[in-house]
A = this chain, B = another copy of it.
Amino acid sequence: MVKYETQLDAIFTALAHPARRAMLARLGKGEATVGELAEPLGVSLPAVTKHLNMLERANLITRGKNAQWRPCRLEEAPFNAASDWIDAQRRIWESRLDRLENYLHTIEQRDRRKR
């Protein structure tokens, strides 16, 4: 449970920066090198490397073993973990709204019988 929470912390932290989101969107289209990721963002290679380290910590990306090129590749599982958490919240609200609706329906029927 703690591990799952720690994973979610890392994933949501990684998603909380426009440059990192842009990098993930780019990697969604296919593998890319650090240089290819840096160019459209207009940021330095060290800055991109820092962002990549955060994405790697969250397991949102993996990097090739080839020391020269080391292409970055998107990993989909953490995205699922993030959206599963959001969906679970949504199910809680929905069940609450359903219960509220049932309750209002019961009251309405009771009032109707009283008339």
Contacts and interface: CB of A to CB of B under 8 A. Distances in A.
Contact of A87 (B8, B83, B93, B96): B83
Interface residues of A, number: 29
Interface string A1-38: 00001001101110111100100110011100000000
Interface string A61-88: 0000000000000101001001101110
A32 B23 CA distance: 38
Interface in A83-115: 83, 85-87, 89-90, 92-93, 96
- This protein's copies in its complex: 2
A4 to B, nearest CB: 10
Tell which of A18, A24, A25 has the most Cβ of chain B within 10 Å. Answer: A18
Nearest to A16: B12
A86 B90 contact: no
Interface of A: 5, 8-9, 11-13, 15-18, 21, 24-25, 28-30, 74, 76, 79, 82-83, 85-87, 89-90, 92-93, 96
